[in-house]
Amino acid sequence: MLISRSKQRFLTLLTYAVLIGFSVYCLFPFLWMLATSIKPDAEIRTVNPTFWISAPTWKHFENVLHGSAFLTFFKNSVFISAVTTGASLIISIFAGYALSRFVRFRGVKLFGIAMLLSQMIPGVLLLIPLYLVMKNLSLINTYSSLILAYTTFTVPLCTFMMKGFFDSVPFEMEESAEIDGCSRVGIIFRILMPVSLPSLVATSLFAFLNAWNEFMFGFVFINDEEHRTLTPGISLFKGLYQTDWGSMMAASVMSVLPVVIIFVFLQKFLVEGMTAGAVKG
């Protein structure tokens, strides 16, 4: 319509070529990680590596699961991420509701600006004082230190996401509930929550992902194996196993697994969420 037929065909072909190129670029590292994790050492250490695995093995997975603290790290990560998710969700539901419905109060407006700014304050700059705060509260090497830090950094994003969802719920629904004698908290939990359930799931998965992927605070606040989370744990495997790349990749595969599962669920909301905090906020 806008361009000639042959040009259109050329353009389509070009588009496919570009997209396939990008797909290979994006996926190759993961495929290679997966392949490496189930190869026996002899096939890893070869000058002719292929995706064809003649003797697939679970040895590396067994090695990581039984021969290292991986399971502890994994459990710690799950626990910390889950608590962080719960905490930031509850906090941001109320904060997001206030930002959506009560912006007419100056204090709430100021709070919105504070949230916006706090999203821009980078963690590295707060590393030192947060470390000292945790130290003074003797929270170093505890789950609480990470939960507190992660919650602080996820709340603003979640708040803006929740605000966005609440904005799209018509006010009339609340009014009729109020006339029927429903309290504010009741309105939030009985009227708004069920309506925005999918968005709620998206927000919580986001919070979970953030906590799961975080590295720096986990690296600095936790010094003992017992409380260490997955990301610093894996980075320390590097020194531990030196060149045992099979085990390294097996550990990587297992830590990416929850992310992949979340990704499949989140796909639909991901685009919205990615832009909610950063661009819109």
Partner 1 sequence: MKPIELERPAKRAGKWRAVAMTLREKRTKRLAYLFVLPALLFFVLLNAYPLVTVLLDSFQFKNLMNKALSGFAGLTNYKEVVQNEYFRTALKNTAVWTILSVAGEYALGLLSALALNQQIKGRTLFRAIIIIPWVVPIVIAGMTWTWMLTPDYGIINLWLVKLGLLKEPYYWLGELNTALLTVVFVNVWRSFPFYTISLLAGLQSVSRDIVEAAAIDGAGVRRRFWYIVLPQLKTVSLTIVFIHIIWTAINFDFIWVMTEGGPLYSSETLPIMIYRYAMQDYNFGNASALASMMLGFMISGFILYYFFSVRKNRR
Residues 229-258 within binding reach of partner 1 (CB under 8 A): 230-232, 234-235, 238, 243, 245, 248-249, 252, 255-256
Q: Is residue 259 part of the contact set for partner 1 (CB under 8 A)?
A: yes
Closest to partner 1 by CB, 209 vs 227, is 209
Q: Which of 149, 187, 202, 207 binds partner 1 (CB under 8 A)?
A: 149
Long-range contact list for 189-198, CB < 8 A, 24+ apart? 192/97, 192/166, 193/93, 195/169, 196/165, 196/166, 196/169, 198/269
Q: Does 36 bind partner 1 (CB under 8 A)?
A: yes
- The residue from 140, 169, 177, 270 that contacts partner 1 (CB under 8 A) is 270
Cα separation, 26 vs 194, whole angstroms: 36
Q: How many residues bind partner 1 (CB under 8 A)?
A: 94
In the region spanning residues 66 to 85, those forming contacts with partner 1, defined by CB under 8 A, are: none
Residue among 66 and 106 whose Cβ is closer to partner 1 = 106
Rule CB under 8 A: say whether 179 interacts with partner 1: no
- Among 64, 74, 120, 180, contact with partner 1 (rule: CB under 8 A): 120
Q: Which of 52, 55, 107, 172 binds partner 1 (CB under 8 A)?
A: 107
Write out the binding residues for partner 1, residues 195-234 only, by CB under 8 A: 209, 212-213, 215-216, 219-220, 230-232, 234
213-247 burial, b for 16+ CB within 10 Å, e for fewer? Answer: ebeebbbbbbeeeebbbbbbbbebbeeebeebbbb
Contact flag: residue 99 with partner 1 (CB under 8 A) = yes
Distance CA 224, CA 163 (A): 39
> Rounded to 5 degrees, what angle do the CA atoms 93, 96, 98 make?
110
Give the amino acid at 280.
K
Rg over CA atoms, the chain: 24
Rounded to an integer, what distance in angstroms lies between the CA atom of residue 108 and that of residue 277? 18
